[in-house]
Amino acid sequence: MSNGNTRRVADRMAEVLGAQVVEPEAVDLATLREYDLVGFGSGIYFNAVHSRLRRLIHSLPHVDGGRAFTFFTSGGPEVPLVGYSRSIRRQLASTGFDVLDSFSCRGLDTVGSLRLIGGLNKRRPNDRDLGRAAAFALRLRERVMHSKSAS
């Protein structure tokens, strides 16, 4: 069940990057090569990214050197052995993306019986989380702009 956590983070990063946020089904695969930077984000459900993002990544064309980043919201920490972030980064790299970095923060989690108590991580992502997301996006923007000016 979506609580809008990841969308709030995506919108904050988009403000900093001057970018547009689109749902996975609305991505124009033919134009991905034209962007300086592409973000791939998802809430985490039972330690996995949403099936909508998985379907998008499996349908990606080869982009040969496109730059990307990932971002996630979750109710708890990533389980190291399962490693959804590493898995997604590896899949993006296999399509030719250079995955520059990844961001994550806590989000309201109302899965299963957690709904009965109002969920975990109430009021998350909060202003501090969104500030961290903005700072992350600013570092990415500077990195991309620096590499563009160097080439």
Tens of each residue's pLDDT in the chain, 151 residues: 566 889 999 999 999 999 999 999 999 999 988 999 999 999 888 788 899 999 999 999 999 889 999 999 988 777 666 677 888 999 999 999 999 999 999 887 766 666 666 666 778 899 999 999 999 999 999 999 887 766 6
pLDDT of residue 147: 77
pLDDT of residue 5: 85
Helices (H), 49-98: 51-59, 84-94
Give CA–CA dist 75/48, Å, rounded. 12
Local structure of residue 11 (DSSP, 8 states): H
User: Where exactly are the structural domains of the chain?
Assistant: 5-150
CATH 3.40.50.360 fits 5-150, yes or no: yes
Q: How far is CA 39 from CA 18, 20, 21, 120, in A?
A: 12, 10, 9, 26
Supply the pTM of this predicted model. Answer: 0.88
**120 phi and psi, to 5 degrees?**
-105, 155
